[in-house]
């Protein structure tokens, strides 16, 4: 897996004079079934989140409101992506280190995940992650 496998996905957007509607179908718009949804909100200015990789988990990360940056790192290359549209989702495949910062005031980050929460799926130490990539 590399950061080239992580893609910004344009989700369907139904525009309407009443407001817009976007939807996500697991296995259709994203390459996994959705087992869990979580969201980050009330993030204080200057906060950083992430700082880990997942062994198995695939995720779609969406800026539902406001904006933030995600730095993807596959142990060779790094890429900073700015998310600021609720109809765009960043697909992050397994074994990618991610860090999040630059949260705007009032931003909400929603994440669709392929599995339930499992702490044993995390690499939270960067050196352990690099070792696992070489193994
Ligand atoms: C990711 C980024 C975008 C749970 O109990 N259940 C959950 O579903 C999650 C996601 C977390 N937690 C617990 C685990 C920790 O005690 O909530 C606490 C904070 O989690 P963490 O430090 O991992 O939060 P972030 O914002 O750094 O990372 C999260 C996800 O963990 C991660 O998968 O990609 O958001």
The atom number, within ligand 1, closest to the CA of 117 reads 8
Residue with CA nearest ligand 1 atom 29:
50
pLDDT band at 1 (very low <50, low <70, confident <90, very high): confident
Paired tokens of 24: 């996500």
Q: Which domain holds residue 31?
A: 3-134
pLDDT the model gives residue 84: 98
The residues annotated as belonging to the active site are 52
Residue with CA nearest ligand 1 atom 30:
50
**pTM metric for this prediction:** 0.97
CATH code at position 86: 2.60.120.10
Q: Which residues line ligand 1 (CB under 6 A)?
A: 36, 38, 40, 49-50, 59, 61, 98, 100, 111, 117
CA of 57 to the centre of ligand 1 (A): 12
21-71 tens-digit pLDDT:
999 999 999 999 999 999 999 999 999 999 999 999 999 999 999 999 999
CA proximity to 100, closest of 63, 64, 48? 48
Question: Number of folded domains in the chain?
Answer: 1
Q: Are 24 and 91 in contact (CB under 8 A)?
A: no
77-97 tens-digit pLDDT:
999 999 999 999 999 999 999
């Amino acid at each position: 897996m590399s950061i080239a496998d992580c893609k910004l996905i344009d989700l369907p957007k139904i525009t309407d004079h009443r407001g817009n509607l976007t939807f996500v179908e697991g296995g259709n718009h994203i390459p996994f079934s959705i087992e869990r949804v979580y969201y980050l909100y009330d993030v204080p200015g200057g906060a950083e989140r992430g700082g880990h990789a997942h062994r198995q988990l695939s995720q779609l990360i969406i800026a539902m409101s406001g904006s933030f940056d995600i730095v993807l790192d596959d142990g060779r290359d790094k890429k900073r992506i700015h998310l600021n549209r609720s109809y765009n989702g960043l697909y992050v495949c397994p074994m990618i280190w991610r860090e999040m910062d630059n949260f705007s005031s009032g931003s909400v980050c929603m994440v669709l995940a392929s599995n339930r929460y499992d702490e044993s799926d995390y690499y939270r130490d960067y050196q352990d992650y690099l070792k696992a990539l070489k193994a």
